Structure formats: C-alpha cells, structure tokens
Chain A
Amino acid sequence: MALDTQECVRNAAGREIPAVINDHEAIPFQGVGQYRPTGPKAAPPIRSCADYPSSGDKQVESIKEALRRAGLRDGMTISTHHHFRNGDLVANQVFDAAKELGVKNLRWFPSAAFPCHSPLIPYLEDGTIHHIEGSMNGPLGAFASSGKMKGLGVLRSHGGRWQAIQDGEVHIDIAVIAAPTADPFGNATGDRGPSACGLLGFALADSVFADHVIVVTDNLVPFPCVPWQIQGNNVDQVVVIDQVGVPERIVSGTTVVTKSPDRQLIAEYVARFVRDAGIMKEGFSFQAGAGGITLAFALYLKQFMKEAGVKARFIRGGSNQYLVEMLEEGLTDYILDGQTFDLDGVRSMRENPGHINTSPFTSYNFHGKGNFASFVDVVILGATEVDVDFNANVVTHSDGRLLHGIGGWQNCLFSRCTVLAVPSVRDRIPVIVDQVTTLVGPGELVDVVATERGLAINPRRTDLMEAAKGSSVPILDIHELKAQIDRLCGGAPAKPKFADDFIAAIQWVDGTTIDGVRRVVS
C-alpha cells in the first residue's frame, strides 16, 4: 500500500507530525490533559466454553500450529513482550513460523524490541512484517531510521500501549505471551522457572483485549500454576518449547551502577537535592529507573535515608538488587514493581510479600481512573536531550537517529517531582540544547535537570526553587548551563539534515501524536 508519509500537520506543541499514521488519521497533541475521548473501551469477542476442551488442556504442538489455528492471515497484528529484554527467544520464532505459513504484511506490536530481534530485519525487507509499532532499541531502530520500513514506526510509552489497546486504537489479532511457567489451562507466571523474569505485566492488556491469546512456555506445570499473573481464562492455546529466554540476557547492561565519577556526581547531587528539598521524608515514595546514574542515586539516597532514620512507603520499580536490599533492610514498606531488572528482583518478587506485581494499567495508563505514577514523590529519569524550555527527548539522538524506546518514561513525568539526570555533554555532543530534536516529554512536566555541573530547576516550580535554597547542591539557570556547554563544545551543534518523509510517530500518553521523526539524510 502506498502511503503518503510526507503530509504533515502541526500540533499544539508546534511540532510537525505525520497527518496519517499507517492509514489512520493522526490526532495531533493538544496539550497535557486536553484530549478527552469518550465512549466505551474496546473488547474482545464473546467466547464459549463449548469451544474449549473441558479437560482444561489447551496444549498444541508448536507455535506454527497455534498460529494456524488462531487463523493467522495477511495484515494481522501480532503482539509480543519484552520481559526477557535482550534474551527473548520467542518473537523470532513467531515470525519464523509466520514466514513458513506464507503470510504477509503483518503488524508487529511488541512492548519493546531489542537487538536480539535483529534477525527479523529480513522479514521487514521481504514483506512478512509490514512495520513495527513499539519501542525499537538498536538495529531495528537503525533500520527504521534509514526509512527502509514499509509503514511508520509508532512509539508509545508503556502506559500509552495499554491506552492504545484499551481505547481500540490498536486491535491485537494474536497475542503471543512468552511465560517462564504456565499450566495447560494457560495460567502463567514470570516469577519462577528456568527463564524466570519476574512479572508479565506488559502482556496483561494483550491477554485481556486480544482476539486470540497464545501462551508459550518452557516450564509447564500441572494445573494450577499459582499465583498466576496471566489468567488462563483469557488464553486460547498453550505451546511448550525448549527455551523461551536466555536468563543471563534478561539482566541487561543497564542494571550496572555507573563507575564514571561524573555520573556518580550527578547521582549524588540528585540524592542531596531530594534530601535537602524535603522530598525525602517519612512515608515518601520514589522511582528510579535502571540506568547507571539512577542506580547510583538509589545508593546515595539509601545512605541518606539511613542517616536520617527515614523510611519510604513505597518504591516504584524496575526492581533490582539495590531496591530489594532497601526492602529487606526495612527502608521501604513496598516495592511496586513494573519489571524486574535482575535476578534478585525476581527472587524478591517470589519471596517478599511487600514486593508487589503491578502493570501498566495500575501504574501508567492515562485513560483510567488515576494511576500510581502521578503520586510518586520523585522520579529520576534519563534523556538523550533536554532543551532550555525543559522539553525532553528520549528516543532520538542529536544526529536524528531513532535509537531508543520510550518505556515508562512519559508516564513517569506526571510524578510530583520529575528529575532528568543526564550528563550535560557526551563527547562533545551537548545534551542541553536550544530545541530538542524530537519532543517526547513536554517541558511543563519536567521539574529538574540534574547534570554534573549542577541542577537547573524549571522556573515553573518556584516551590522547588524555594525548597532547594538551603542545599549545598549547585543550582544554576538552564541557559547558563547551556552556555557553559556551548563554550566547551565550540558553539551549539548544527542541526541534522532531514528528508521530508516521516519514519516514525511519537505518541503521547493519551494517544495523540506529540512529534514525528523524519528520515535522516546522510
């Protein structure tokens, strides 16, 4: 199908976005909290027990057979999930089977794609997969950036993915859920088994809303698999294969505490700010992601909490060894976990009653009756670029290439205090710029930019400016910060050259389009 990928409209943030995204008219971003769709949510078709074995045994012999029985045909949407991160072995097998079945023009709707999925590039080239809608990390991002993908990439946050499924913007024909442990009925969990990954929250929406749900496991247990994270009553078929994931790749490189002294300094500044500004107080909450800086932040904060005798009510994960230690040492009542980043997290989720399994529905979905992210006291996130209006980018680099997914990043911006902890410059590439290459997070939601040169507080947050007055952390104006970096770098960098055509759309948490990514001309 021929797409006009060049036609564009301007949204409320002043960004040019594609007018049409894969045959659907885009809804331009209207401002934070402005777009209020109405009407009922989407729902899967009614099913009858008469069509399922009363024995409860839904096993079929292979992924290929399960896809065939699910009625796979051209143009369908298949979803997979990234609980195994770079150790996923299932998505590639799904499309191998689809290729063998000779279907074309599939839409792949992963919760995220990783470098381990680069074997799928030939299927994008030969038309088995039409395009990817989901975060693309690494080679797939590079493939899409070069404009070779047939459709537009659509990037959504974890919460935005739930919202798009729930609101019917993305209809999933077949969801394939890789499960570390399952029973023949389809009950499944991620917290045990040889490929244990913790939880399966990213697959929850798919299990509820998809037309057809296939659970794939390498650890089949007799009914019941308890406690289940995916309910067998939503599952159509169960397939047992040799291995669903590579456990050691589930622990990605992002869960290593930074050794860089500059990055440690950033982490320490943030922790001191959180302490000195009075955010760190009895019963507070925080979320720190899996990056090297944020892990170091958690270690500094832990030390300060101990010194002050302060305990948190909850920590939002991505859990890891360091957060688990805080839980087990009594520094927090709960970890509300969205994904587990290492094996300590997996163990703790299995063993600790205070380590709670959450989903994008509870934590991030913007079209719900509230979500957890908005009442976290402070969240520490990364970014590829931040501009002087505090707008931030997390998907493209300054040279315009699309290299990262959004994850829960956009959803977390709604916390009471959002801190972007970033080096001010990376090998002469300024991180603080006059205008972000791609707008992913509106500046009104970014409260603090923390760098090794000090912290810049969003002028909208006069309360934080006041609260930080007694702190020894250096506070500076973001323009001054930018000036320092530009001096070092020999002026602001040139803008990359873009072609007219778009290669991806960036969705906001409400399903509107906040920005488009154009093809880079080299």
Chain B
Amino acid sequence: MDPHASCQAGRRGDKIRGDAWMAFTPTSSGGLEIELTSKLEALYGEATRHSLEQWLAQAGVENGRLQVEDKGAYPFVLKARLEAVLQKSLGKPEFQLAPEGKAEPMPPVQRLRPRRSRLYLPGNEAKYMINAALHQPDGVILDLEDSVAPAAKQDARCVVRQALHALSWGECERMVRINQGEMGLADAAYLRQAPFHLLLIPKVETAEELQALEKVVEGTDLLFMPILETALGILNAMEIAQASERNVALTLGLEDLTADLGVVKTVQGAETLWARSQVVHAAKACGLQAIDSVFGDVGDEQGLRESVREAKALGFEGKGCVHPRQIRIIHQEIAPQAKEIDKACRISLAFEEAQERGEGVVSLGSKMIDPPVVKRALQTVEAAISAGLLNQDWRETQG
C-alpha cells in the first residue's frame, strides 16, 4: 500500500447527525494539519481541535493531514472515528486510543439475572446508543454483525469500544454481538478489556466454535450467549449449551434459520416451532435461560404482545428488541399476569401455613397442590415483586 494513501472512517452526508467523517493522509514531514468543518464550530470548534491534537499526539502521529466533517459528534464518537482512521493508516487494526476519563462502574457480572429484553443497537450508529439505557431494557446489544455494513466493520468496532467506556448504561447488562468466524474472534480480542458483560455469538453450529472463543477471552469474566440460526446449530443445541462454562443463555435467529431451511418465515411461525422448542429444551436441560428472537415489526404493538405471550408459553424468558418502544411491552407481557400472581400468592401462603404446621402436604381449599406447582408459585411471587407488580409486604394485604 502507498504509505501516503489517504484512509477514511466515519459517516458523511446531509442526513448524518451526531457523527463525524474523517480522512487522514500521512506525510513524511511538515507537521500536522487539521481541517475541521463543524456544525458546532461556535460551541465546540476549539475544543474539538484541541482534542484531536491531543489524541494524535497520544498516538505519536507527528505528520499528516486530517480532514474532519463534524455533524455534532460527541467526543467519544470523534475519538472512535480518529481511532479507526489511524488504525487503517498505520496498518494496525489493534491500535487503541485510551478512552476519556473513567468508565462508570458496571453492574456485576451475573450468570442469572433478568434477560427479558435486550435492545439491539447498530454498532456504527452512535446516536442510538446515547440514550438507550434511559429506556431501561434489561440488556443492550452493541452489534458488530448484521446491522453493520461490511466496509464499516472496523469503524463500528471502535465506536462500540469507546461507547462502552464513555456512555452511561445504567443497570443494563452490556452485550456485544460479534461477527462470525475469524472476524468474530478478532472482535472479541479487540474488545476483551472493555467494560461489558456478555458476548452474543452468531450462527454457532458446533462446540468447537465456543472453545476457540474461550481461548480469546481467557482471564476475563465474559459470559456467552450463543445464537443458533442454522439447522445444524439447532440440532447441536445440547452440545453447544454444554460447550462452555461461560454460557448463560441460548437464543436463536429466525431470519437466518428460515433462510437455511429454505422456508418462508410466517407470523404464525409453524416452520420454526420445533427449532424454538429444541432451543428451550436444550437450555433448560443445561440450566441456561432460553431467549427468543426479535419481533421485527416495530409498529405492530398487538403483534408483539401476542408474540411475547407465545414465546413465554413455549418457555422463553426474554425477547430481542429492535426499538425502545418494544421494551415495556415485552416486560408487561413476560411479567406474571394478575390472575397468575393472585393464585401464586394463595399457594405461597398455603405452603407457608403447611410448613408452620409441619405438614408436608400443601392444600388450597379442597385441592392438593403438587410440589412443582408450589415451586413455580414461589418463583412467580418473586418475579411479580421484582417487576413491581406485587408489594414486598403483600402478605399483610393478601393474608
């Protein structure tokens, strides 16, 4: 490659907001030249020039011409764009600029936690990330795979890493969906030190794939959520579920699966019913959570509600979201419903009374209650309390 060739990163155009485009042309002498055009010249022009100079100095770049078109990019985005352009220019895809300041403390890594909703955020679209946590999904997925154009993979990797450090993600579990195969391993290697909890691994078909990834993330606490989205992956669900100690949940992708099966994806979903049940069974058999695919029609609230009810009935504990407005609906539908809670409370009380009396058999009215039913009732009460549908002191009002 011509050592003086210009490299680019970021996005440009009239419709771009909250982002920047950069081009760097190395020179062998003459110092640094920064050409910045910014929508925010009056407010942040000087600050941006200063930051760019500082970051270039950190990178040890002393000569070259940097062109920047700024459409209101936040500092972490500017940094990600500069990082990407320098990676390309230096021919060092592993090059990283230290994130600004200290990252917000992250909630602890937990194998078992609610994963009712996980919001997909395209990895190269910083503007959707800024306020994602305010909509309170259980998890966010910064996506490097299907939502990122092939030419933007490296750019997205930089945005995702800087965003994980810079943004406030609140109580959300922070997930990254890496690419398939070799690129995915490189994604994981690039991000392994970043503050996040879990890797979503696409199109897993064999245990070996997870074992390869294990080596890359050795020494970290990262959890895995394999996505099964081929016929082979579905058939190997058990093997995949057991392949890594880091696995906490299994999920599946229906678009790719139906393509692989050569069938049309329908709203009713008969064509993938078996696959979904297989994933639920494999997950439960291995003590993992079963998480359903996304519901793609953002405008169809009723359709989403039905889809969540159906998923819940099959044994899924969560669903993917493609838009923040889906989050609350999913939470509402996954939460135990009023009748269910009421019954669970009565069973729980009966169970406690039976225990006090030292009786092994729980009965409600004239009906005997089997132990697994009691167990599920206790779980329902727990879930209702954590979803805010039941007071901690429900016994006083119900009892």
Contact = CB atoms under 8 A, between A and B. Distances in A.
Interface of A: 261-262, 264-265, 398-400, 426-429, 452-453, 484, 487-491, 493-494, 496-497, 520, 522
A494 B43 contact: yes
Could you say which of B40, B43, B71 has the most chain A C-beta atoms within 10 Å of its C-beta? Answer: B43
B131 interface: yes
Interface stretch (B44-52, B237-245, B366-374): B44-52
Nearest to B71: A427
B312 interface: no
Given A426-B72, A484-B168, 11 more contacts: A261-B323, A265-B135, A399-B42, A427-B17, A428-B40, A429-B72, A453-B134, A488-B74, A488-B166, A489-B74, A496-B43
Interface string B119-142: 000000001001100110000000
B253 interface: no
6 contacts: A428-B44, A487-B101, A489-B74, A490-B75, A494-B42, A496-B42
Contact of B74 (A264, A484, A490, A496): A490
Nearest to B101: A487
B39 interface: yes
B131 A452 contact: yes
A218 B363 CA distance: 81
A491 B47 contact: yes
A374 to B, nearest CB: 34
B75 A493 contact: no
B324 interface: yes
B43 A399 contact: yes
A493 B40 contact: yes
A398 B43 contact: yes
A262 B127 CA distance: 11
Nearest 10 A-B pairs (CB), nearest first?
A: A427-B72, A493-B43, A490-B75, A261-B324, A399-B42, A496-B42, A428-B72, A427-B18, A262-B131, A427-B17
A72 B75 CA distance: 57
B323 A427 contact: no
Name which of B45, B47, B323 has the most chain A CB atoms within 10 A of its CB: B47
Contacts of A491: 47
B18 A429 contact: no
Contacts of A489: 44, 74-75
B168 A400 contact: no
B375 interface: no
A427 B130 CA distance: 10
Contacts of B51: 490
A265 B47 CA distance: 31
A267 to B, nearest CB: 12
Nearest to B18: A427
Interface string B226-247: 0000000000000000000000
Contacts of A522: 42
A400 B39 contact: no
B377 interface: no
Give the interface SS of chain A, mostly helix, strand, loop or mixed.
loop
A497 B71 CA distance: 21
Nearest to B46: A494
Contact of A428 (B42, B74, B101): B74
A427 B47 contact: no
Contacts of A400: 42
A169 to B, nearest CB: 34
Interface in B65-120: 71-75, 100-101
Contacts of B74: 428, 488-490
Q: Which of A398, A489, A490 has the most CB of B within 10 A?
A: A490
Interface residues of B, number: 29
A10 to B, nearest CB: 25
B376 interface: no
B304 to A, nearest CB: 15
Contact of B39 (A262, A427, A453, A484): A427
Interface in B170-194: none
Contacts of B395: none
B42 A497 contact: yes
A256 to B, nearest CB: 15
Given A427-B39, A428-B18, A429-B40, A490 B134 contact: no
B323 A429 contact: no
B325 interface: yes
Contacts of A399: 42-43
- Interface centre among A398, A452, A488, A522, by most chain B C-beta atoms within 10 angstroms, is A488
Contacts of A429: 40, 43, 72
Nearest to A264: B325
Nearest to B100: A490
A493 B39 CA distance: 13
A261 B135 contact: yes
Contacts of B167: 488
Nearest to B167: A488
A285 to B, nearest CB: 29
Nearest to B73: A428
Contacts of A426: 72
A261 B325 contact: yes
A488 B17 CA distance: 16
A426 B166 CA distance: 18
A427 to B, nearest CB: 3
Interface in B354-398: none
Contacts of B40: 427-429, 493
Nearest to A496: B42
Contacts of A487: 101
A37 B33 CA distance: 61
From A265, A400, A428, A487, name the one whose CB has the most chain B CB atoms within 10 angstroms: A428
Contacts of B17: 427
Interface centre among A264, A426, A493 (most CB of B within 10 A): A493
A493 B40 CA distance: 9
A39 B46 CA distance: 53
Nearest to A266: B134
Nearest to A400: B42
Given A264-B325, A428-B18, A428-B73, A490 B44 contact: yes
A425 to B, nearest CB: 8
A56 B148 CA distance: 72
Contacts of B75: 489-490
A488 B130 contact: yes
B294 to A, nearest CB: 16
A520 B127 CA distance: 29
A265 B130 CA distance: 14
A494 B39 CA distance: 14
Nearest to B132: A261
A426 B47 CA distance: 18
Contacts of B45: 494
Contacts of B39: 427
A496 B101 CA distance: 27
B47 A490 contact: yes
A292 to B, nearest CB: 15
A117 to B, nearest CB: 25
Contacts of A520: 42
Contact of B134 (A452, A493, A494, A496): A452
